[in-house]
Every structure is written in structure tokens, then in C-alpha cells.
Amino acid sequence: MQFDLLLKGGRLIDPASGLDAPRDLAITNGRIAAIDADIPFERAARVIDASGSIVAPGLIDLHSHVYWGGTSLGVDADRLAARSGTTTFIDAGSAGAGNILGFRRHVIERSKVRILAYVNISFAGIFGFSHSVAVGECSDLRLCEPRETVAAVREHADVVVGVKVRSGRHAGGTSGIAPVDLALEAADQAGLPLMAHIDEPPPGRSEVLPRLRKGDILTHCFRPFPNAPVFASGAVRPDMRLARERGVIFDIGHGMGSFDFEVAKAMLKEGLAPDVISSDVHLYCVDGPAFDILVCMSKLLALGMPLVEVLRAATQRPAAAIARPHLGTLKVGGVGDVAVLRLRSGSFTFVDSLGAALVAEQRLVSDGIVIGGTWWPNEAADDLSDTERFEAHARHSHVEVAARHFGHSHD
């Protein structure tokens, strides 16, 4: 058999199947055609040298904002895909029932990379979000209409994976817990999971978390004080343990204001690693502190999470959360979405949402991705050395963060 594409000589890590071994991987007609210890060069029309690299399922960013041009916070998914190893972006409620058709027609259907979406319980989606504008989409309950949400879910069932709600005083003003209850009712009626964002209380996590069902997602799970999942002592709050036992999915959703190294250290120390690592990438954090899913994964790696678990949290777990397990694994006959990654050694300074720095000796970088069988190299791999990029960010982030602390954007 002749193959279209051969990734040769890589270390294949597929957490879902438990495989971590040197393997060649061949793709034909957009599907994985063979995984073997040695597939000869001459059997493929195109060969990519993956020696020294990790061949993994294409990364799935469970929380991103990619309604580019249609919302102020949207980034261009196609521009970010190869750089971040991402083959599937899940947009977390940028669009609501009132504008998901535009998102679908103008972005999802035109993108080379795969895009799926949570529909916002708010009819208008996230419509007022920038450094200087902050009008929460749940601050007027007239916008939270479960019937409209369920109708949109059904009309776009092929691309919709759940319902999104942003609760908290920034996203919901004085609405309290009501947006969460309305979103839960819509999710129940639609038969899909709910992704719940928390920011600053009210409502606090202690009101939101007990409402979430098995398979629902708490995003911003490692957010800083106030509304952090740990006490000041570092002890994990009991409602987090109860939620994990019940099967609520903990998702990082790093973003601009939602990841705290100290919280992450405390959670990991007590055995509560995140289920899913996502970036919450949007226009106001794509140049730091979140950057993209690979940077977020590198931070968890630097905090001591094992490489295979970091990869699992960006492949198998998000695929399960969206009930599309075939996207998060590498199987013969399966979809040909692959990430070719490298562990680069050096000195890298990572920064969290509070401006705290963490120095690491390695980070993940992307050589490129395969989407639907087509090789898509990361052209930007050597634009700026990683050390320069992170140190530049670390230098000016302290100034920015001071301003941000008293600002109003908390995603």
C-alpha cells in the first residue's frame, strides 16, 4: 500500500491507548493507515522526519475564543493552529443563540482547523469584552433565554458540544446564580454538558459547584483569590473534592486572569491535577500570559505534572468531555489529526495571571500538525527564541498586571 504521508522516527505518545514507544505513523485519505515500528520511506508520497520529536494526537483546546472578527476577543484559529499543535479548537461561548449562525458560516466552515463550540446561555454571546469595555453578557437576565439556547443547540448539533455560562460579578453583574440555573436547565433539555466559568463572587464557587453534574465542566479551576479552590493555607476546599468525586471536570482555562501558580502547586500537592489543560486563548492573552495551549501545558509540566498526563489532559480528556473520543487518540482507521511536538531544553520564564514567574528547564514546542491528512508546519517556530519571548513578557507583565489587578476583565 502507498501512503500519502509518513511521520518517521518519532516517539509516539497516545495516552488514550497507553502507547509510548518509537513508532512510524502513516496517513492515507485523511485517516491513519498504519502505526508500526518501521514503515519504509519509499511507501509514502511525503515523509516528515519526526526523529527527536513526540508524535501525539492533535491537541484539543477545550476553552478558546476563535470567533475572529465577530467578537472583540476572538483570535484567528488558523493562525494559531500549527504554532500550538492544536487541531481542534472548542470555542467557549463566544457566540450565543443570536449569532452562532454567523460564527458557523463565516468562521467554522471556512477554517482549515476543526472548530466546535459551546453555545452561550446569553443570546448575544460575549459581546462587550476588551481592556476598556466590560459589559458582562449575563448582567441582563433578559438575554439568558433557555428556549433560544436549546433551539440553537439543535439547529447546529453537528458543531455544538455543550452550553456555556459565565457567572460571577464581572460576567453577570448582580444576576447572582440565576444565569447558572438557566444554563443548567438548557443543558439538561439539550442533553449536553454545561461549562461553567467562575470569576469573582458573587456568586462564589461554593454556589456554582454543587449544581454541576457528572460531566459538567468547571473552567478556571485554578483561579487566584478571591474564589480560589484552596484556602490561604493551601488546603483544598472540600467542595472541590466533592465535585471531583462526583465526576465534575476540572478545566484550567488559563486566559488573562485565571491561573495562579501557587494555587496550582497546592492543588497538585493534594493530588487534584486538572482533568483538562486549556488555554482560554483570546485577543487579550494570546501575547501572554496564556499564549496558547502548549505554553499552558508547559507550565503544568514545569509544576511537576508528568508528560504523559499533560498530554492526556490536552487529548483524551477534552475529547471525552465533548463526547468525541475518536479525536483524542491515534488509531489505525481513525481521523488523521496529529501534533508533532518537541521538548525543548533551555531556560524559560513562565508567568501566571498575577505576574509571578516560574523558571523551567524545558518546554513543549510544535513542529507542526497534521489535519485531515495534510502536513501543516509551524512556520513561526524560530521567529523569536522562547527565552527572549518569555523574558520580554515577564519584564513588562508586572506593570500590566498591576493595572489589571484593579481592572475589570477576568476571563
| 65 annotated as belonging to a binding site for a ligand | yes
Give the full edge-to-edge strand order of the sheet including 59-64: 59-64, 86-96, 114-120, 160-167, 194-198, 217-219, 249-251
Instruction: Tell me whether residue 284 or residue 348 sits nearer to Zn ion (CB atom).
Output: 284
- H-state helical runs in 100-216: 100-103, 146-155, 169-172, 178-190, 205-208
* Calpha distance 151→123 (Å, rounded): 11
Are the C-beta atoms of 275 and 250 separated by less than 8 Å?
A: yes
- ∠ CA(246), CA(310), CA(216), 5° rounding? 25
272 half-sphere exposure, CB direction, 13 A CA radius? 28
Please choose, from the candidates 189, 328, 317, the residue with its C-alpha nearest in 3D space to the C-alpha of residue 247: 317
Only segment of 1-9, 86-94, 113-121, 302-310 that touches Zn ion (CB under 5 A): 86-94
Total number of residues that touch Zn ion (CB under 5 A): 3
| 197 annotated as belonging to a binding site for a ligand | yes
* Calpha distance 46→379 (Å, rounded): 18
| 164 annotated as belonging to a binding site for a ligand | yes
Name the minimum Å distance from CB 59 to Zn ion.
Answer: 17
Name the minimum Å distance from CB 110 to Zn ion.
Answer: 22
Name the minimum Å distance from CB 165 to Zn ion.
Answer: 11
**Which residue has the closest beta carbon to Zn ion?**
280
Name the minimum Å distance from CB 204 to Zn ion.
Answer: 19
Please choose, from the candidates 357, 257, 261, the residue with its C-alpha nearest in 3D space to the C-alpha of residue 305: 261
Of 26, 81, 92, 208, the one binding Zn ion (CB under 5 A) is 92
Question: Is residue 411 at the binding interface for Zn ion, with CB under 5 A as the rule?
Answer: yes
Question: Is residue 367 at the binding interface for Zn ion, with CB under 5 A as the rule?
Answer: no
Name the minimum Å distance from CB 63 to Zn ion.
Answer: 6
Footprint of Zn ion on residues 12-71 (CB under 5 A)? none
332 half-sphere exposure, CB direction, 13 A CA radius? 9
Classify residue 143 by its DSSP letter: G
Only segment of 90-98, 127-135, 179-187, 296-304 that touches Zn ion (CB under 5 A): 90-98
Instruction: Tell me whether residue 10 or residue 172 sits nearer to Zn ion (CB atom).
Output: 172
Instruction: Tell me whether residue 280 or residue 292 sits nearer to Zn ion (CB atom).
Output: 280
Instruction: Tell me whether residue 63 or residue 342 sits nearer to Zn ion (CB atom).
Output: 63
Kindly write out the interface string for residues 333-352 of this chain, putting x where it contacts Zn ion by CB under 5 A and - elsewhere: --------------------
Question: Is residue 4 at the binding interface for Zn ion, with CB under 5 A as the rule?
Answer: no
| 299 annotated as belonging to a binding site for a ligand | no
Please choose, from the candidates 371, 372, 394, 369, the residue with its C-alpha nearest in 3D space to the C-alpha of residue 381: 369
* Calpha distance 321→201 (Å, rounded): 26
| 220 annotated as belonging to a binding site for a ligand | yes
Name the minimum Å distance from CB 248 to Zn ion.
Answer: 18
| 269 annotated as belonging to a binding site for a ligand | no
Name the minimum Å distance from CB 73 to Zn ion.
Answer: 8
* Calpha distance 204→169 (Å, rounded): 9
Of 260, 275, 280, 386, the one binding Zn ion (CB under 5 A) is 280
Please choose, from the candidates 99, 124, 55, 109, the residue with its C-alpha nearest in 3D space to the C-alpha of residue 78: 109
Instruction: List residues binding Zn ion (CB under 5 A).
Output: 92, 280, 411
Binding residues for Zn(2+): 63, 65, 164, 197, 220, 280
